[in-house]
Amino acid sequence: MRVFSPTERPKPWPDRKAGVRRRWALPFVFVEWTFDWAAFFLSNWKFLEVLEYVGSLSVLVAVLFYFSESGDRAKQKHYQAWQVINTAQGKGGSGGRIEALQELNADHVALVGVDVSGAFLQGIHLSGAKLLRSNFSAADSRNGDFRYADFTDANLSSANFRGSNFYKAWLQGA
């Protein structure tokens, strides 16, 4: 915590001027002397002390709001990921779906009913994903990681899963 104490009164200009050895430095010393007087007058003003305390308090309030809104930021991130997935639906290519699906899965969001038909998802990592009733028809998911994933009643027709890892994946009704 900062302790407020008034600064000591600066020396008069003739005394300060007498201590200057180089004449070219005189304008710089004058500017510094002016600021010394400004600091002296402002150090006696209690309003600035109150502003200092309010500034410290505002930092604390900002930190509290940041942590209290963390759930909303997570929701916003999930909404944006779902928007990427749904906007690219029915289109070829990745379209950012790999990153969006992996992010949602990392946050343990169920990917039930997701439609990635015809998508290019090569090398996707969805281990432990809940992909019930999802549509992977004609998707290129080569070298994907689907360990422990749940593909119950999923549509996997014509999908390319060559080199993918399905260790302990649930494929009932797929």
Question: Can you give the pLDDT at residue 3?
Answer: 62
pLDDT tens string 14-27: 999 888 889 899 99
Mean pLDDT of the chain: 88
Mean pLDDT calculated for residue range 110-134: 92
- Angstrom CA distances, 104 to 76, 108, 124, 144, stand at 12, 6, 12, 16
> Does position 85 have pLDDT exceeding 90, yes or no?
no
Contact of 142 with 122, CB cutoff 8 Å: yes
pLDDT tens string 27-72: 999 999 999 998 888 887 888 778 888 888 899 999 998 888 887 8
pLDDT band at 74 (very low <50, low <70, confident <90, very high): confident
